[in-house]
Amino acid sequence: MGENVSVVVDTENYRSKRESGLVELAQQLSEKVRKSRRPFTTGPLNAHDRRVIHLALKDDQQVRTKSKGEGNLRKVVIYPIKKGKTQTKDQDQTKVEID
C-alpha cells in the first residue's frame, strides 16, 4: 500500500518515433542557429521532450541549450556559442541545462 506505480504505454513505437523526430528537429534548429548566429526558442514542450532536445545537442560545440519559462509552458532556447571564445572547464560542464 502507498506505492506509486508508473505505467508507460507505447503504441506502435510512438515514443521512439517521437524521440527520433525531436532529435532530427534539434539538429535542424542547431544548423539554423549556427547559420543565423541568433538564438532560437522552441514552442512549449513537456519535460521529456525538452530533455531529448538538450541531450541531442549536448555534444554540439557550436550551440548551447537552456530551458526557459514556467511549468508546462517551458521552452528550450538554443544559443550560438560565440566564435573565438574558448570554453573553460566550468563552461563546458554547464553547457546543457536540463530541468
Give pLDDT tens digits for 14-63. Answer: 989 999 999 999 999 999 999 999 999 999 999 999 999 999 999 999 99
pLDDT of residue 99: 53
Residues 95, 98, 79, CA angle at the centre, nearest 5°? 45
pLDDT of residue 88: 46
Instruction: Locate the domains of the chain by residue range.
Output: 13-97
Strands 63-68 and 96-97: parallel
C-alpha cell at 12: 506502435
If one looks up domain 13-97 in CATH, what number appears? 3.30.1370.50
Q: What is the pTM of this model?
A: 0.75
The pLDDT of 60-70, averaged and rounded, is 96
